[in-house]
Amino acid sequence: MDRFFVNCVIISWLPRRYCHLVSFTYTFIHLLFTRAHISSTYFGNPFLPYHATVTEMMMTLKLVGLAFDVNHEYLLKKKLRTNTETSEEFEKDFINPNCMDMFHYTFSFMGIIAGPHYRYKTFIDFFDLPFSVNVPKNKQVIRKLAYLVLYLFLMVLVSNIWPIPYAFSEEFYNSRSWLYRLWYSWTIFLNFRLRVYSGTILAESICIMTGLGAYPSITEPRSGHGPTKAFRKIKEIFFNIPLVTKIIPLSAGKSVPDLVQEEYSFETIQNMNPYVVESCTTSREEMKNWNMCIQYWLVATVYKRFPYKKFRTSATMFVSALWHGIYLGYYICIASVPLYLPVEDLYVELFLNNNNGKILDNIQFVELT
C-alpha cells in the first residue's frame, strides 16, 4: 500500500512536467527492495508469496504508466497552446485522476493478478462509455475457452511424458547425453508456454465478461493502448445515446440497439497471440506477439521516452529484465536481445526477403521452437 500512497502523492502534487520520472524511479527502487528480499532479511518482514509478487509487478505497470499518461497529457496541452487547430490527438488522452480514481484503477480485480495491463483511460472508458454493456461477450469467451481446453490438455500431456522434476534428477545428468538434455529443455519451455497461454486466456476472459477493453472495430484498438483512430466517432456515439443509459447501464442492464449491432474488438486487452508465437520465424515477431500489453507499456514508457535513440532497445530490454526480477537468467535472456536483433535483421534482409529464403525460413522456425 505504501507504493500506492507515495505514487498518489507524486502524481497529484508534483509538477506534471517531471512527475513520471519520480514515479518511475521510486517505484522500481521499491520493487527491487522487495525483490531482493531486503525488507525480509533486514527488517523481519515476511517473504512475499508468488501471487503477491505478480500483483506487485502489475501495480508497478499501472502506477508508473498512469504517471507517464499524466505527463503525456501535460505535453499535449502544452502543444495545444501553440497549435490553434484541434486534432484528434488532443481529444483522446485528457485525464484528471484523483486519489480515489487511482485507488480503484490500481486495485481493480480486472488484471491485478495475471494481467492484462491496460491504461487508466481504458478503465475510465469502461464506466463512461456504453460499450461494455452492449458488446456481445459470450461468443468471444466461448472461443477463448475452447483454446483453453486444448492448452490444458497439451500441458497435462507434456507434463506426463516429459516431467519437469526429471530434469533435476541424477539420472538426467549422469545417464543422458548432452544432446538429449538440450532437447529436454525445449519440452520444459513448451510446458511453460502452455501454462502462460492458459493463465492469459483466463485473465482475458474475465476482462471480456465484464466488458473491459471493448471498443468498436472502426477505432482499430491496439493491445494495451486502446483506440488508435476515430476518436470523434466514439464521442458521437456517447453523446447521441440516452443519458439514462450512460448513467445506469450496468444496474439497469439496458442496451441500445444501434450499439448492440456494432462490431466490437477486444484487442485492447489481447495480451498473447499463441498462434503467431508458435509459428513465427523471427525473434522480433515473436516478441511483438508475446505479452503484447506489457510490450506496449515498455514502448510507451521506456523506448519512446529514452533520450538516446541508439540505446533505446538496450534500455527497454534492461527495464524489462529489471521488472521481471533480480535473477541472472532474466538478464541473460532478456537483456541480451539487443545483441542479436541487429544480426537477425541483417539475416532477414539478406536471405529471407528473397525468393530463395523459404528453406532458410523453415530452418529458423525450427531453431526458434
C-alpha 244 chain-centroid distance: 34
Full DSSP string of 70-98: HHHHHHHHHHHHT--S--THHHH------
Hey, how many other C-beta atoms are within 10 angstroms of the C-beta on 249? 22
The residues assigned a catalytic role are: 291, 324
Cα distance between residue 49 and residue 2, in whole Å: 18
**Secondary structure letter of residue 166 according to DSSP:** G
Which residues make Cβ contacts (< 8 Å) with residue 118, sequence separation at least 6?
Answer: 110, 111, 207, 212, 213, 224, 226, 268, 269, 293
**Cell 487547430 appears where?**
85
- Answer whether 205's CB lies under 8 Å from 151's CB: no
- Answer whether 6's CB lies under 8 Å from 26's CB: yes
Q: Which of 222, 230, 163, 217 is nearest to 190 (CA)?
A: 163
- Answer whether 73's CB lies under 8 Å from 95's CB: yes
85-96 per-residue burial string, b: 16 or more CB within 10 A, e: under 16: eeeeebebbeee
- Answer whether 301's CB lies under 8 Å from 312's CB: no
Hey, how many other C-beta atoms are within 10 angstroms of the C-beta on 146? 10
